[in-house]
């Protein structure tokens, strides 16, 4: 008899291994800006809400659709881009402030013409020699004067007062104020297509300046009727009037998107390197798809691509705090217009495994 014993392992009651099986439950929560407590959260870009029910074992959160108003006022005091400074030969400097809002290129050119002439009229009554136009073909702003040379002082540091605090226009507003100057969107001249320079050498002309791409019989064919010798300056870059192209949604404690700090300097240097990155700094990136005044709708089947996942899952979730901001930290100003969006919460639910067989009637396949 060998040393190996024969054992009868047969049993009529075998043990069935318990498998850990879960079902993923989808819970949708729709949120409107008017759902917030306006006494505690007067700004619709920053608020906290309590969910209708406490959610447990949260595996992921996703923004699946949104409906926001397009009231993106590009030129505002908060954005620090409504001032520019210039001078005439022998007078000035003058600083003008354009009205806040959203402009077409032609509206912006007319606004600049009127404000510049009004500024000089304080010293020279009824002054009308300035003419600013938008050239549709090369998409650039042209500054012209009928008879006097002028200087565009676009290297001037304009000062703005925001909520009682004064900031230079080359700094990002709190909470992400930088000590170095912004390389883009640093002031009104940037949007007009100019660099941060002094333009003190306008081109002289003894001939009237015309819209050459128009008919000579058109009423506005001549845009600068020269008296003796006129002068003009053409922007080196095309005009930029659309402002921000996207904003970010933050879910405090539940963000999963990394961001870089804007306006880095000397990123390859070992000294004064201003490179910076922010980990888990945003929840969703929302493109601005419309121009004022309109509304735009987006969904995860279109442009929205975001999801925050949690492992292990969140044990319970009853409140969420939301912030809507631009890349540089400024809160989005919706001008008291309502908006809404829908969040999807995926929840783990423990279950006993079941092998279900489902018969689909033939007519359902039509």
Looking from the CA of 37 toward its CB, the CA atoms found within 13 Å total 6
- Give a yes or no: residue 13 inside a domain: no
Q: How far apart are CA 112 and CA 231, in angstroms?
A: 16
Is 95 or 172 the better-scoring residue by pLDDT? 95
Exposed, middle or buried: residue 361 (CB in 10 Å: 0-12, 13-18, 19+)? exposed
Could you tell me if 213 and 309 lie in one domain? no
For the stretch 282-325, pLDDT in tens is 999 988 876 666 555 666 666 567 788 888 888 999 999 999 99
- Give a yes or no: residue 181 inside a domain: yes
Structural domain for 107, as ranges: 83-234
Nearest to 249 by CA among 333, 339, 322, 337: 322
Could you tell me if 283 and 336 lie in one domain? yes
Could you tell me if 104 and 54 lie in one domain? no
Q: How far apart are CA 366 and CA 361, in angstroms?
A: 10
Could you tell me if 44 and 130 lie in one domain? no
Could you tell me if 96 and 211 lie in one domain? yes
- Give a yes or no: residue 38 inside a domain: yes
Could you tell me if 171 and 145 lie in one domain? yes
Read off the pLDDT band of 115 (50, 70, 90): very high
**Residue 180: pLDDT over 50:** no
Could you tell me if 41 and 110 lie in one domain? no
CATH number at residue 60: 2.60.120.1100
* Mean pLDDT value of segment 323-346: 89
**Residue 4: pLDDT over 70:** no
pLDDT at 83: 94
- Give a yes or no: residue 298 inside a domain: yes
Contact 82, 97 (CB under 8 A): yes
pLDDT at 351: 72
Please give the tally of structural domains in the chain.
Answer: 2
Read off the pLDDT band of 175 (50, 70, 90): very low
State yes or no: cis peptide before 93, omega within 30 of 0. Answer: yes
Contact 342, 27 (CB under 8 A): no
Contact 72, 147 (CB under 8 A): no
- Whole-model pTM? 0.78
Could you tell me if 67 and 120 lie in one domain? no
- Sheet of 130-135: strand order equals 130-135, 140-145, 230-234, 203-205
**Residue 176: pLDDT over 60:** no
Could you tell me if 218 and 121 lie in one domain? yes
What one-character DSSP code corresponds to residue 301?
T
Q: Which residues have C-beta within 8 Å of that of residue 126, sequence separation ≥ 6?
A: none
């Amino acid at each position: 008899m060998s040393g190996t014993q024969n054992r009868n392992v047969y049993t009529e009651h075998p043990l069935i291994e318990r498998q850990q099986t879960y079902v993923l439950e989808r819970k949708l929560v729709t949120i409107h800006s008017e759902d917030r407590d306006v006494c505690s959260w007067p700004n619709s870009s920053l608020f906290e809400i309590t969910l209708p029910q406490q959610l447990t074992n949260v595996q992921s959160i996703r923004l699946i659709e949104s409906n926001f108003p397009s009231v993106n006022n590009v030129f505002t005091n908060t954005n620090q881009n409504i001032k520019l400074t210039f001078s005439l030969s022998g007078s000035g400097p003058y600083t003008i402030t354009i009205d806040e809002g959203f402009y077409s290129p032609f509206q912006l050119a007319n606004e600049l013409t009127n404000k510049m002439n009004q500024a000089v009229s304080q010293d020279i009554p009824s002054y009308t020699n300035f003419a600013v136009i938008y050239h549709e073909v090369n998409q650039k702003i042209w500054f012209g004067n009928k008879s006097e040379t002028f200087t565009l002082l676009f290297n001037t540091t304009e000062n703005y007062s925001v909520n009682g605090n004064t900031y230079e226009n080359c700094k990002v507003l709190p909470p992400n104020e930088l000590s170095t100057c912004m390389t883009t969107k640093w002031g009104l001249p940037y949007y007009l297509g100019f660099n941060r320079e002094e333009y003190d050498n306008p081109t002289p002309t003894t001939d009237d300046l015309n819209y050459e791409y128009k008919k000579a019989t058109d009423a506005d064919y001549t845009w600068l009727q020269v008296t003796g010798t006129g002068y003009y300056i053409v922007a080196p870059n095309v005009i930029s009037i659309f402002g921000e192209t996207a904003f970010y949604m933050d879910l405090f404690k539940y963000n999963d998107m990394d961001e870089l700090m804007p306006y880095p300097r000397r990123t390859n240097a070992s000294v004064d390197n201003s490179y910076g990155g922010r980990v888990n700094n945003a929840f969703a990136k929302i493109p601005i798809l419309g121009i004022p005044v309109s509304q735009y709708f987006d969904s995860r089947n279109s442009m929205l691509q975001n999801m925050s996942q949690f492992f292990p899952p969140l044990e319970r979730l009853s409140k969420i705090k939301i912030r809507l901001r631009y890349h540089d930290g400024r809160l989005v100003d919706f001008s008291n217009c309502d908006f809404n969006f829908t969040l999807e919460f995926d929840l783990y639910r423990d279950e006993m495994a079941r092998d279900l067989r489902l018969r689909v009637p033939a007519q359902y396949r039509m």
